[in-house]
Amino acid sequence: MLPHTSATLLIVEDNADLRDGLKDILSFEGFNVLLAGNGLEALAVMHNLRPDLIISDISMPEMDGFAFYEAVRALPEGVTIPFIFLTARGEREDILRGRNLGAEDYLIKPVMRDELINAIQSRLQRFRQLQMAQMEAAYQAALTALANGIEVRDRYTRGHVERVTAYSLAIGEQLGWSGVRLEALRYGAILHDIGKIFISEAILSKNGPLSPEERLQMTFHPAQGAEMIKDIPYLAVAIPVIRCHHERWDGSGYPNRLSGEAIPLEARIIAVADSFDAMTSDRPYHRAASLQQGLDEIQQGRGHAYDPEVVDLFTQAWQAGKIYDIAARW
């Protein structure tokens, strides 16, 4: 028995002996098993409980497997349920019809035990991976919406979060990053200015230089942003990035006046991306510079405000056309 298996399977099969035999095999493997003799019975079962996966015969009385499949997919709760056709018919037209309907798995009776178990576990794993990807996409969309709440308060920064994220990822890709490292950079970029939610709108949109007191308030937002997410384990990788994205290579930044490699590399990347976008966007205190002027200014800060290696990587991304392509989207 597989103790980790707790998925609920619905077997739809009009042959009672085969149906009961499948139940014995799958119950022994640790699955919860529901039974139905045809499509109509199966829909009635699903009225009370949503299965994690369906195994259905094709040739059945009252409602065959194809009609049952379409009925399941018409249900809001049935759109994503993994579906395996199990049939004695192996004609090409049946396989093609099932595939055209969207069924990914098609087993021919008599099916071997190992073949059946492997198909079920593989289909469940693919479904869980899809769920995780969808959850990740929804999570990132929620984070972006949260970060964009700052932009609602300041019309001058519209699109800033998306551009800084895209510029940062372009630099990360130049480094050859992927997977977890690139995702940490993405989260940090999306949330880098989240602490500005504590800054008054009057300061954010002030049309002119900030007073010493206002500048002091602005220096608090990296630490405030890091504090906001400190109790969210999923975002722990972004905390150093948020806290340090206004630090500068020569130690002239804030909040802790870190310098050089004492600043996390992700924060050094976002510092370049954030500065470039600020230079090339309209703000209350200046008109947007051209993209070329922005690049020139970033390069002038190489080894002073910005990590020389990061500036070089940004320049490479520029030469590859990536920076222009990103800027052109907004």
Structure token pair of residue 78: 């049935």
Q: Which long-range contacts (CB under 8 A, 24 or more apart) does 299-304 make?
A: 301/275, 303/249, 303/250, 304/248, 304/249, 304/250
Check whether residue 179 and residue 264 sit in a common domain: yes
Check whether residue 172 and residue 62 sit in a common domain: no
- Number of separate domains in the chain: 2
Check whether residue 158 and residue 122 sit in a common domain: no
Check whether residue 161 and residue 122 sit in a common domain: no
**What's the confidence (pLDDT) of residue 228?**
85
* Burial class of residue 65, CB neighbours in 10 A (0-12, 13-18, 19+): buried
CATH number at residue 113: 3.40.50.2300
Check whether residue 256 and residue 316 sit in a common domain: yes
Q: Which residue has the tokens 């990590």?
A: 307
CATH number at residue 277: 1.10.3210.10
Check whether residue 106 and residue 175 sit in a common domain: no
Structure token pair of residue 124: 């469940």
Check whether residue 183 and residue 293 sit in a common domain: yes
Cβ atoms within 10 A of the Cβ of 123, count? 20
- Please enumerate in sequence order all residues whose Cβ is within 8 A of that of 24, keeping only pairs 6 or more positions apart, or say none: none
Cis? peptide before 61, omega within 30° of 0: no
Query: Pick the catalytic residue: 196, 206, 230, 322?
Result: 196
Check whether residue 164 and residue 93 sit in a common domain: no
Domain that holds residue 247: 154-328
- Judge whether 230 counts as a catalytic residue: no
Check whether residue 173 and residue 63 sit in a common domain: no
Task: List average pLDDT for each run of 10 residues in the chain, which is 330 residues long.
Answer: 65 92 91 94 89 90 90 84 78 61 72 85 80 67 64 62 94 90 88 87 80 90 89 82 96 96 96 96 80 96 97 97 90
